[in-house]
Amino acid sequence: MESLTEILKRLHDGKIEFSLIGGFASRHYGVTLVTEDVDVCARFTPENLRRLESAFKDLHPRHRLTANKLPFELTDELCQLLKNVYLKTDLGVLDCLSQVAGIGDFEAVLQNSELTEFPFGHCYVLKIEALIKAKQAVGRPHDLEAVRQLQVIKEKNEQQNKLI
């Protein structure tokens, strides 16, 4: 979990525009499932992609879904074509998406996110309601288990807020 937090810190320190989504966001809300990667929705502009490249350059990033695991090296043309980036780094796996199932593009994700305090600073995290919607849209067994737990957590939070 420590290396995943370091990946998140690098995104923050690199001034990458992103929102935390996926399993690590679920863990943030209290889901007990283990995750082995960091999933974010990012703004896919050439400037933001170049900041991403710079933030992880020393961690030997490689495109993890290519047959020969090519290094993550951007060109102007590639910056225009990319929709998602799936990286394996020395710290672990980082998946950057330009849109989220059930939510939409980066702007829609950002509207459904909240600024959250972490030990290293503030980052956007997909709100619990939107995270439930996104995980339902993907529908894999572990996503549906996360949905079940997120709904229980959401209900408990709502009940506690009614008591206040």
The pLDDT > 90 percentage for the chain reads: 89
Question: Which pLDDT tens digit goes with each residue over 38-82?
Answer: 999 999 999 999 999 999 999 999 999 988 889 999 999 999 999
Q: Which tops the pLDDT comparison, 158 or 41?
A: 41
What letter does residue 83 receive in the DSSP assignment?
S
Count of beta carbons in the 10 Å neighbourhood of residue 158: 9
Q: What pLDDT does 53 receive? A: 98
* Residue 1, pLDDT above cutoff 70: no
Edge-to-edge strand ranges of the sheet holding 113-118: 62-63, 84-88, 93-97, 37-42, 18-21, 121-126, 113-118
Q: What is the pTM of this model?
A: 0.94
**Domains with residue ranges and CATH for the chain:** 2-163 (3.30.460.40)
With 0-12 / 13-18 / 19 or more C-beta atoms within 10 angstroms meaning exposed / middle / buried, residue 132 is buried
Instruction: Give how far Cα 111 sits from Cα of 19, 104, 115, 135, Å.
Output: 10, 10, 11, 17
Q: How confident is the model at residue 164 (pLDDT cuts 50, 70, 90)?
A: low
